[in-house]
Amino acid sequence: MSDQILTIVSWLFLGLGSFFYLVGAFGLFRMPDVFTRMHAVSVSDTLGVGFLITGMAIETGWSLNTARLIIILAIMLYSGPIATHALAQAALHAGVKPKLADNRLKKSRRISATREIAGSSNIQAKSSAPTKSRSRTARKSSSATRGKGRGQSSKR
Amino acid sequence: MEGLTEGLFMYMVAAIAILVALGLAVFRALAGPTVFDRALAANAVGTGAIMLLAIVGFLTGRPEFLDIGILYALLNIIATLAVLKFFRYGDLGHAGEEPKD
Amino acid sequence: MAALQELVNHYNHWIAVFLMVAGLYVVVARGNMVKKLVGLSLFQTSVYLIYLTPGKIIGGTAPILSDEFTVYSNPLPHVLILTAIVVGIATIALGLALVVRINEAFGSIEEDEIFEKDVEA
Amino acid sequence: MVLLTLMAIVTIGVVRLRNLFAVVILGGIYSFLMASVMIMLDAVDVAMTEASVGAGISTVLMLGTLYLTKMEETRPAHTPLLPLFVAVVTAGGLIYGTIDLPPFGDAAGIIHQHVAPHYLQNSIVETSVPNVVTSVLASYRGFDTLGETVVIFTAGIAVLLLLKGRRPASEPDSNAAKARSRRRRPKA
């Protein structure tokens, strides 16, 4: 009986993991620029991998394989943020501008509003050509919030 | 797959999901307009390879090979960091961060 | 149906042939030396695939002996390919070192430009 | 099969792209996919080596070379019709050759009849190593492995000799060269 419950629970975890993994991959596929794609990949890197590995660990029971799975999970949970951080830093350093980021800035409000409409109506538009920007910090913070919002809306 | 009992069904689903995800990541690696897209996709492909390895290990009934998954995970982060460090500084041996052996 | 059977039987071979030809094409057609080396490694990898494919037995498992299994895939190609991979990376490393030296001597890694400069010199 | 198709697609990308960075990154992806295919083909040891060598070492080596040289490939001067023709003809011949090969996964293939059964049956008795690949590599074919080590040693010396006489153009240059030769050590 408890075996059956365990099996059902592990199935649930595996299914959820597959779902989130696919969601992350679709985000990687559809998102408009590097930073939002990064956000989407983090979904599959944490939720997807976490659920899949938990499901497998439940199925295996207590054994050496569980330890291996946990080590893999730990490595991936640590390495994912590091890699993403390095990626974002390198991209910003290289002058890749986050898309739709400048509608928080007062001076270019009107232009960016039109750009946002264009961007949201055409999600799979390729990222705009990299342009140099001086005010990086403001753009970074606003891009983070926007990226999150977009990611959640696409997840539903 | 002759040994496809009910217990393995969910593994099959997960394997197919991971394969689809791999395909999407490869598409992004090919189409990605900037190099960072490609690096991100490479990272995603590495993750997919690890998960596929684990799932296939369970599918074929020999999950001992998860050790290799650990190696993949470490390699993945090293490769990604090498590429990104290269872009950030234009040099792998920058600023004394090269490991002193 | 027979065509499908044929596809399943030989899909690995065909992909290996495709990879091999792609590597050959890159080596022959591209003038950039780093690209040529990438093509060379593509070619090598296709050879690995060709070697490993017949070693697999459907229903078999990896050749690590255990009491639970009786059918194992053939370990011999694995050994050969292990050697081949390591020798291959030695080749690539040597080639890359040569590319670095050539770039120093000629200031270019494109084949055509190097030929031109060689004629001039 | 899906993996193999993906590999073919990545290969097309490698052939077409001219940004060498992208090519190197795609090479890493290709190596990971190849390692997954090798897992499917039950070659776990080979997969491990391929992942570490293909995705790790060769990516780093290529990046080092790119730093020391150029990053962009020039547009090919002439249309590659002749190489394309050669490639297609070669492909045709090879595919004609594959028709006679034994089908995939056939346990009655010739390769499984001769030497491998001996290794599989006797290696546990003769070497008491459960991993047959290890026992063959280190015990039955130990001289092969010795020769392989000699090859790598020679390559390492050659690389050192090639890169040693470099005139230092700038400071980070020589650093990178040192890093390259240093990184080659542990593998051998």
pLDDT tens figures, C58-82: 777 777 777 777 778 888 888 889 8
Rounded average pLDDT over B53-74: 82
Instruction: Reduce the DSSP state of residue D76 to 3 states and report it.
Output: coil
pLDDT (tens digit per residue) in B70-99: 888 888 888 888 777 777 666 555 544 444
Examine residue B39 and state whether it is found in any structural domain, yes or no.
Answer: yes
CA dist A4 and A8 (Å) reads: 6
What is the secondary structure of D24-53 as a DSSP string?
HHHHHHHHHHHHHHHHHTT-HHHHHHHIII
The residue among B19, B37, B68 with the most chain D CBs within 10 A of its CB, best to mutate, is: B68
Question: Is B84 part of any domain?
Answer: yes
Is residue D54 domain-resident?
yes
> Alpha carbon of B80 to those of A80, B28, B87, D173: distances in Å?
10, 16, 11, 22
Question: Scanning the structure block, which residue is given the tokens 């991979």?
Answer: C85
C8 close to B (CB below 8 A): no
Question: Of A115-124, C100-109, C112-121, which range is least confident?
Answer: A115-124
| CA angle A84–D23–A38, rounded 5-degree value | 20
Q: What whole-number percentage of chain A has pLDDT above 70?
A: 62
Q: Does the beta-carbon distance from C55 to D115 stay under 8 Å?
A: no
Tally of domains in chain D: 1
pLDDT at D163: 84
Q: Which burial class, exposed, middle or buried, applies to B26 when counting CB atoms under 10 A from its CB (0-12, 13-18, 19+)?
A: buried
Please name which of A110, A106, A114, A118 lies closest in space to residue A142, comparing C-alpha atoms: A106
Q: How confident is the model at residue D1 (pLDDT cuts 50, 70, 90)?
A: low
* Shortest CA gap D130–chain B (Å): 13
In sequence order, which ranges of A31-135 are alpha helices (DSSP H)? Answer: 34-43, 49-60, 64-93, 109-121
Quote the pLDDT of residue A125: 38
| Alpha carbon distance A106, A103 (integer Å) | 7
Nearest to B37 by CA among D84, A109, A29, C91: A29
D36:B53 CB<8 A: yes
Give the pLDDT score at D150. 92
Minimal-distance CA residue of chain C relative to D33: C45
Report the chain C residue with the minimal C-alpha distance to residue B3: C59
CA distances to A22, C17, C49, C75, C89 from C52, rounded to whole Å, are 31, 14, 5, 9, 18
For residue A5, give the 3-state DSSP assignment: helix
Say if D106 falls within a structural domain: no
Place of tokens 């890699």: A83
What SS3 state is found at C32? strand
Q: What local confidence, expressed as pLDDT, does residue D153 receive?
A: 92
Read off the amino acid at residue B35. Answer: V
DSSP lists the bridge partners of residue C32 as C110
Q: Note which residues in 76-115 of chain D have CB less than 8 A from chain C.
A: 76-77, 80, 83-84, 86-88, 90-91, 94-95, 98-99, 101-107, 109, 111-112, 115
Give dist(CA C39, CA D16) in Å, integer: 12
- pLDDT at position C94, please? 92
CB atoms B30 and D9 under 8 Å: yes
Residue A133 pLDDT > 70, yes or no? no
Q: How many residues does chain A have?
A: 156
- More confidently predicted of A105 and D155: D155
Mean pLDDT of A37-41: 86
Residue with tokens 């960072």: B36
ipTM of model over 0.85: no
Q: Which chain B residues are within 8 Å of A87, Cβ to Cβ?
A: 36, 39-40, 43, 80, 84
Residue C33 has pLDDT above 50, yes or no: yes
**Amino acid D58: pLDDT:** 87
Q: How much is the pLDDT for B60?
A: 79
Beta carbons within 10 angstroms of residue D42's beta carbon: 25
Across chain C, what does the average pLDDT equal? Answer: 84
Which residues of chain D make contact with B93, given a CB cutoff of 8 A?
A: 172, 175-176, 178-179
Q: Measured between alpha carbons, how far is residue B17 from residues A19, B28, C94, D134, D162 in Å? A: 8, 17, 40, 34, 48
> Residue B23 falls within a domain, yes or no?
yes
Helix (H, G, I), strand (E, B) or coil at B2: coil
Q: Which residues pair with C110 in a beta bridge?
A: C32
pLDDT at residue D154, as a whole number? 92
- Lowest-confidence segment of A136-150, B4-18, D94-108 by average pLDDT: A136-150
- The reply to whether residue A15 touches residue B13, judged by beta carbons under 8 angstroms, is yes
**pLDDT surpassing 70 at residue A101:** no
Q: How far is residue C42's CA from residue C36's CA, in Å, rounded to a whole number?
A: 10
pLDDT in tens, B10-52: 788 888 888 888 888 888 888 877 788 888 888 888 888 888 8
Residue B1 lies in a domain: no
Picking from B26, B52, B58 by the largest number of D CB atoms within 10 A of its own CB, the best residue to mutate is B26
Burial class (CB within 10 angstroms; exposed 0-12, middle 13-18, buried 19+) of A105: middle
The answer to whether the Cβ–Cβ distance between C89 and D112 falls below 8 Å is: no
Nearest to A29 among B28, B84, B88 (CB): B28
Q: CB–CB of C60 and D42 under 8 A?
A: yes
Is B2 part of any domain?
no
- Neighbouring CB atoms inside 10 A of D139's CB total 14
Confidence of residue D115 (pLDDT cuts 50, 70, 90): confident
With beta carbons less than 8 A apart as the criterion, state whether D139 and D152 touch. no
Q: What is the DSSP string of B41-71?
A: HHHHHHHHHHHHHHHHHHHTT-GGGHHHHHH
* Cβ within 8 Å, pair C64-B64: yes
How many of the other CB atoms lie within 10 Å of CB of B6? 8
For chain D, say whether B70 makes contact (Cβ under 8 Å).
no
How far is D39 from B49, CA to CA, in rounded Å? 10
DSSP state of A130: P
Query: Can you give the residue ranges of every domain in chain A?
Result: 2-155
Query: Which domain range does residue B71 map to?
Result: 10-90
* Residue C14 lies in domain: 2-120
**Is B95 domain-assigned?**
no
**A contact residues 25-64, partner B, Cβ 8 Å cutoff:** 25-26, 28-29, 34, 37-38, 41, 44-45, 48-49, 52-53, 55-56, 59-60
In eight-state DSSP terms, residue B96 is: G
C-alpha dist (Å) from residue A79 to A46, A66, B70:
11, 20, 12
Q: How far apart are CA B66 and CA B57, in angstroms?
A: 7
Question: Do B65 and C59 count as a contact with CB atoms less than 8 A apart?
Answer: no
Residue with token string 């050959």: C24
C-alpha pair distances (Å), C79 with each of A27, B51, C13, C101, D44: 41, 26, 20, 34, 11
A128-137, B19-28, B52-61, D85-94: the lowest-pLDDT one: A128-137
Q: How many domains does chain C have?
A: 1
Indicate yes or no: CB of B60 within 8 angstroms of CB of C64: no
**What pLDDT is attached to residue A153?**
39
Note whether D36 contacts B: Cβ–Cβ < 8 A. yes
Query: Radius of gyration over alpha carbons of chain D, in Å?
Result: 21
Interface test with D, best of C30, C49, C52, C78 (most D CBs within 10 A): C78
Could you tell me which residues come within 8 angstroms of residue C118 by beta carbon, excluding any fewer than 6 positions away?
A: C106
Q: What average pLDDT does this structure show over C50-65? A: 82
Residue B50: φ, ψ to 5°: -60, -50
Determine whether the interchain pair B2/C64 forms a contact, defined as Cβ–Cβ distance below 8 Å.
Answer: no
3+ Cβ–Cβ pairs closer than 8 Å linking B and A: yes
Which range marks the domain in which residue D35 is found?
A: 1-73
- Which residues are paired to C72 by β-bridges? C61
Do D29 and B56 count as a contact with CB atoms less than 8 A apart? no
Best mutation target, B16, B91, B94, to test chain D (most D CBs within 10 A): B91
- Which DSSP category does D79 fall into? -
- D68 is a domain residue: yes
CB B70 within 8 A of CB B57: no
Task: Check CB contact under 8 Å for C59 and B2.
Answer: yes
Across chain D, where does the E strand assignment appear? none
Cβ neighbours for D79, distance < 8 A, ≥ 6 positions apart:
none
Neighbours of chain A (3+ CB pairs under 8 A): B
Average pLDDT of the residues of chain D: 77
